[in-house]
Chain A
Amino acid sequence: MSPLIEQIISFINLAIKTAPAAKQVYEDGRALVDALFLGKLITKEQQDSLMQWADAHQAAVLSGEVPPEFKVE
């Protein structure tokens, strides 16, 4: 296999790997737009899930936890 083809395949794989994270952000964004601008009801489950995330995230940050993704290595 030529180096050029290997490089192309390598970057196609990279592009595929970006998709799941982007999908989550896109869905979160749509939910926020739906709630704020389209007047959709924010369900109990959605509220509880967000509060759980925010409280846990706040506690983790205050305990000094830094995910490896945000550490300068």
Chain B
Amino acid sequence: MKTRLSALLIIAVAAMLLVGCHGVPRLQSGGAYAGNTNVASGVALTAPQPDLYIADAAYKLAYDAIFGVMKFERDNRDELLKLSPAIKQGLDKIRLKVVDIEWRWATARESYKRNPIPPNLSTVRLILLEIQRLVPVAQAELDPFYLHMDPQRN
């Protein structure tokens, strides 16, 4: 059930990120996303990056959720294949999509880190939405397992 809760949590966070109804994160000074200031002069050396923090945190959340599903299937493949071969078939299609998303995300994030301008961050965010959309899809592929565990769910 916790897997389901985490899916709902991710969907809620993704929806709120989409409509932008979140606050600016409060970043403790000295942290990797907080920017640097010359202590003596008080002049900012590098700007804070709250938007990159949000993008990275949301990406990690979605990635970990999908990774958890894939690991569960791989670790228990023989048992799940006996239950339904469709689980692996469905997840294999998602695996291909994730590898593609991962490559584009890494390329886009590298571009943003080299040149932190808004259009580059927008690309990172658009790719983030793609992996977020895959979370409930990947988790739904395990439905035959959940139904087997709790036949009254349907």
Chain A residues proximal to chain B, CB less than 8 Å: 10-11, 14-15, 17-19, 21-26, 28-33, 35-37, 39-48, 50-54, 57-59, 61-62, 66-72
Contact = CB atoms under 8 A, between A and B. Distances in A.
A11 B147 CA distance: 11
Contacts of B70: 69-70
B153 interface: no
Nearest to A35: B25
SS class of chain B's interface: helix, strand, loop or mixed?
helix
A22 B53 CA distance: 22
Interface of B: 2-3, 5-6, 9-10, 12-13, 16, 22-23, 25-34, 53-54, 56-61, 63-65, 67-68, 70-72, 74-76, 79-80, 92, 95-96, 98-99, 102-103, 105-107, 109-110, 145, 148-149
